[in-house]
């Protein structure tokens, strides 16, 4: 029996501006410790419209693929997942970033969303490797990538400026070969 994910990924769209603005406004304080400092203008209709327009342009230029995480049961937007910094050529790599709304945390939605994003990355996007950088204190996020077969590659000191501070991040990665092996192992009785 095929298990249907409780969430679906949909490409970001400027037509869903209100849903994205509501998501970010409701989760502004929840996300603050995990994200770069955002100007107040980001949390406005114009700021969100600009962000969504940029994500559409980035997708068209093959630089970033951003998806909304939509709950199948309620039809509500509950998060966002991105494959950014896409590099082609010899590397064929992207950086994974994601979040699920505070009210939807702890239900496995991020794990499902990352799984779907990896299927896209190693399918349609034809990438070879996806990496994620996670602050060591973010145990829930670490668990999401571990459940999806990422391996720990090392600690990057003062890697990203998060909430106004340069934070260390653990770097995790998975390749298409590892992904395919994991999927074939899961299909065996």
What is the structure's pLDDT at 4? Answer: 80
159/5: higher pLDDT: 159
Question: pLDDT category, 161, cuts 50, 70, 90?
Answer: very high
- 8 A C-beta contact, residue 35 and residue 162: yes
Whole-model pTM?
0.94
CATH class given for the domain over 7-187: alpha beta
Give the whole-angstrom CA distance, residue 12 versus residue 22. 14
pLDDT per residue over 114-143, tens digit each? 999 999 999 999 999 999 999 999 999 999
141, with CB counted inside 10 A (0-12, 13-18, 19+), is buried
> What pLDDT does 18 receive?
98
Domain ranges across the chain: 7-187
Strands (E), the chain: 7-11, 65-71, 77-87, 93-100, 129-134, 151-162, 165-175
State residue 185's pLDDT score: 74
Backbone angles phi, psi at 77, to 5 degrees: -75, 120
Distance (Å, rounded) from C-alpha 140 to C-alpha 105? 9
- How confident is the model over 11-47, as pLDDT tens digits? 999 999 999 999 999 999 999 999 999 999 999 999 9
C-alpha span between 161 and 37 (Å, rounded): 8
3-state SS record for 128-174: CEEEEEECCCCHHHHHHHHHCCCEEEEEEEEEEEECCEEEEEEEEEE
Confirm if 21 and 41 have CB atoms less than 8 A apart: no
pLDDT at 1: 57
pLDDT at 10: 97
Using CA atoms, how far apart are residues 53 and 33, in angstroms rounded to an integer? 25
pLDDT of residue 187: 61
Contact (CB, 8 A) for 136 and 167: no
Phi-psi region at 164: left, alpha or beta (left = phi > 0; alpha = psi -120 to 50) = left
Say yes or no to pLDDT of 189 above 90: no
Q: pLDDT tens digits, residue range 73-91?
A: 999 999 999 999 999 999 9
For the chain, give the mean pLDDT: 95
- Mean pLDDT of all residues in 159-188: 91
């Amino acid at each position: 029996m095929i298990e249907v994910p409780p969430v679906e990924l949909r490409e970001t769209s400027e037509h869903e501006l209100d849903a994205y603005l509501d998501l970010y406004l409701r989760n502004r304080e929840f996300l603050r410790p995990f994200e770069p400092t955002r100007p107040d203008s980001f949390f406005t209709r114009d700021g969100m419209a600009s962000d969504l327009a940029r994500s559409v342009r980035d997708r068209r230029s093959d630089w970033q693929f951003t998806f909304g995480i939509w709950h199948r049961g309620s039809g509500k937007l509950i998060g966002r997942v991105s494959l950014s910094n896409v590099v082609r050529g010899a590397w064929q790599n992207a950086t994974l970033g994601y979040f699920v709304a505070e009210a939807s945390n702890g239900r496995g939605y991020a794990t499902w969303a990352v799984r779907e994003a990896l299927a896209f990355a190693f399918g349609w996007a034809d990438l070879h490797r996806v990496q994620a950088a996670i602050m060591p204190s973010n145990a829930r996020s670490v668990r999401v990538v571990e459940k999806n077969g990422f391996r720990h590659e090392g600690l990057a000191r003062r890697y990203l400026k998060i909430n106004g501070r340069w934070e260390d991040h653990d770097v995790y990665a998975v390749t298409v070969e590892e992904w395919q092996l994991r999927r074939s192992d899961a299909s065996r009785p």
